[in-house]
Amino acid sequence: MSFTYEYPRPALTVDCVVFGVDEGGLKILLIERDIEPFAGRWALPGGHVHIDEEIEDAARRELEEETGVDKLFLEQLYTFGAVDRDPRGRVVTVAYYALVRLADHRVRAATDARDAAWFAADALPPLAFDHAKIVEVARARLRGKVRYEPIGFELLPRKFTLSQLQRLYEIVLERPLDKRNFRKKILAMELLVELDEHETGVAHRAARLYRFDERRYRRLVRQGFNFEI
CA dist list (Å): 155 to 28, 98, 99: 12, 10, 6
Q: What track of x and - describes contact with DNA for positions 130 through 169 (by CB under 7 A)?
A: -------------------------------xxx------
203 binds DNA (CB under 7 A): yes
The full DSSP string for 171-190 is HHHTS---HHHHHHHHHHTT
Which C-beta is closer to DNA: that of 18 or that of 186? 186
205 binds DNA (CB under 7 A): yes
CB of 92 to its own copies, least distance (A): 6
Which C-beta is closer to its own copies: that of 1 or that of 203? 1
Q: Assess whether the previous peptide bond of 150 is cis (omega < 30° from 0).
A: no
43 binds DNA (CB under 7 A): no
Residue in 12, 43, 189, 207 binding DNA, rule: CB under 7 A:
207
Only one of the segments 11-19, 81-89, 109-117, 203-211 lies at the binding site for DNA (rule: CB under 7 A); that segment is 203-211
Which C-beta is closer to its own copies: that of 4 or that of 181? 4
Q: What is the spatial distance between Cα 229 and Cα 221, in angstroms, rounded to a whole number?
A: 15
Return all residues near 220 (Cβ < 8 A) that are at least 6 apart: 191
> β-pairing, 46-48 with 11-22?
antiparallel
Q: With CB under 7 A, what is the number of residues at the site for DNA?
A: 20
- Measured from the Cβ of residue 206, the count of other Cβ atoms closer than 10 Å reads 12
Which residues are at the interface with DNA (CB under 7 A)? Answer: 161-163, 178-181, 183-185, 198, 201-208, 228
